[in-house]
Amino acid sequence: MRELITKSFLEIFAQEPILAFAPGRINLIGEHTDYQEGFVFPAAVAQGIWFAIQKNKSNSTRIHSLDFNEDFVFDVKSFSPRKGHWANYIMGIVSQFKQAGYEVEGFDMVFGGNIPVGSGLSSSAALSVGVGTAISGLFNFNIPKKSLALYAQKSEQLYEGLNCGIMDPYASAFGKADHALLLDCRTNTHEEIPITLGQYSLLLVNTKVKHKLADSAYNKRRSACEESVEILSQKFPEIKTLRDFSEKDLPKVKSILPRELFSKAKHVILEDLRVHQAGESLRHGELVKFGELMKASHESLSKDYEVSCAELDFLAEESWKKSYVLGSRMMGGGFGGCTINLLETERIPEFKRSVSTSYLQAFNIEPEFIEVKPSDGARIVK
């Protein structure tokens, strides 16, 4: 991929580029906790997007997308959002940089990668963080990783109109090989936890569905959490979000909240706890314990938080049945997307055959399998 990007850049723009890379990400555990300032546990993966970039001494920025085989030109001094277009993520970052006082001048860029779009690996964050890394490197802005992640988040919020969290760009920026990031979404700081998988591997199974309910349900769950906080803060004026509660508070929380809100709050409170337990398990190489936490997370997301769907439940349950799978759960916002599975590497072919057959039979869909490995974050390549 790296060679292909360089070659295309030379062919189109006839000068030597500098190269940047940004990866996609997975989330090991900690779902629907970020917007309550809780904890998540992502890792960057090996799949990512490569960028070849060089200054062109003009105000005109020319971009070629290899994957879409499309060109886009814009004036760096004056441009406006193009929602839904891939160039929007690039203009969004340039806009953030300019607002922060960085003088971005015209550049040429070719980019392309191997992250399946819309499968739950956050290709959009890789694109945003990668563009930020490339531009920062090209103009020697030396922008810190955390700022790159925050600009990427802001860019997607303002340009795409998406109410997204910090996790995806943060993981793409800070990823480290064979580590996951225990990220605190209140302070935006993280702890690196080493992941030693030994004879086990992480494998995503893509349901290949995205139910219409996803967006409206996401907003509803967010509001439900906010409503709970409002009610609870009358009794506990010091609390700001559900993150401020722990397991021992559950009986009190239960006595205050209506039943419907309690089950949602309970998920968020216990999921935060599971993230910490998962961190401890992985730090000590206790993969079986980690697998159990994955299952508990899925059950909570499915039964209490109600963001799963028949396809995700089916895939998780199929995995739990297999002795060589240590854990499985839905990954991401829900109502479609992937499950993440921890299983014996040697049995992956057998797993794929078995799951393909049963999923095809149940839903008439051929699932997609994506092997993932905790890898390094965004960087200038040369």
Question: Which residues have a catalytic role annotated?
Answer: 168
**Cβ-based nearer residue to ligand ADP, 290 or 335:** 335
Q: Which residue has the tokens 């959009």?
A: 124
* Shortest Å, Cβ 208 to Mg ion: 17
Asked if residue 95 binds Mg ion (CB under 5 A), the reply is: no
Distances in Å between the Cα of 192 and the Cα atoms of 43, 45, 101, 203, 283 are 10, 15, 31, 21, 10
* Shortest Å, Cβ 3 to ligand ADP: 17
Query: What is the total residue count of the chain?
Result: 382
Among 22, 26, 43, 49, contact with ligand ADP (rule: CB under 6 A): 49
Residues of 44-83 as b/e, b for ≥16 C-beta within 10 angstroms? bbbbbbbbbbbebeeeebbbbbbeeeeebebebeeeebee
Among 67, 226, 292, 299, contact with ligand ADP (rule: CB under 6 A): 67
Asked if residue 36 binds ligand ADP (CB under 6 A), the reply is: no
In the sheet where 368-372 sits, what is the strand order?
A: 325-330, 336-344, 200-210, 368-372
* Shortest Å, Cβ 168 to Mg ion: 6
**Cβ-based nearer residue to ligand ADP, 157 or 354:** 157
Kindly give, in sequence order, each residue whose CB lies less than 8 Å from that of residue 161, ignoring residues fewer than 6 positions away. 83
Output the six-digit token pair for 255.
């006595």
CA 294 – CA 187 distance, rounded (Å): 25
Among 47, 95, 124, 241, contact with Mg ion (rule: CB under 5 A): 124
The separation between the first and the last C-alpha atoms of the chain, rounded to the nearest angstrom, is 14
Residues 76-135 that bind ligand ADP (CB under 6 A): 86, 89, 112-113, 117-118, 121-124, 127
Asked if residue 368 binds ligand ADP (CB under 6 A), the reply is: no
Asked if residue 119 binds Mg ion (CB under 5 A), the reply is: no
Q: Footprint of Mg ion on this chain (CB under 5 A)?
A: 122, 124
Q: Footprint of ligand ADP on this chain (CB under 6 A)?
A: 49, 65, 67-68, 86, 89, 112-113, 117-118, 121-124, 127
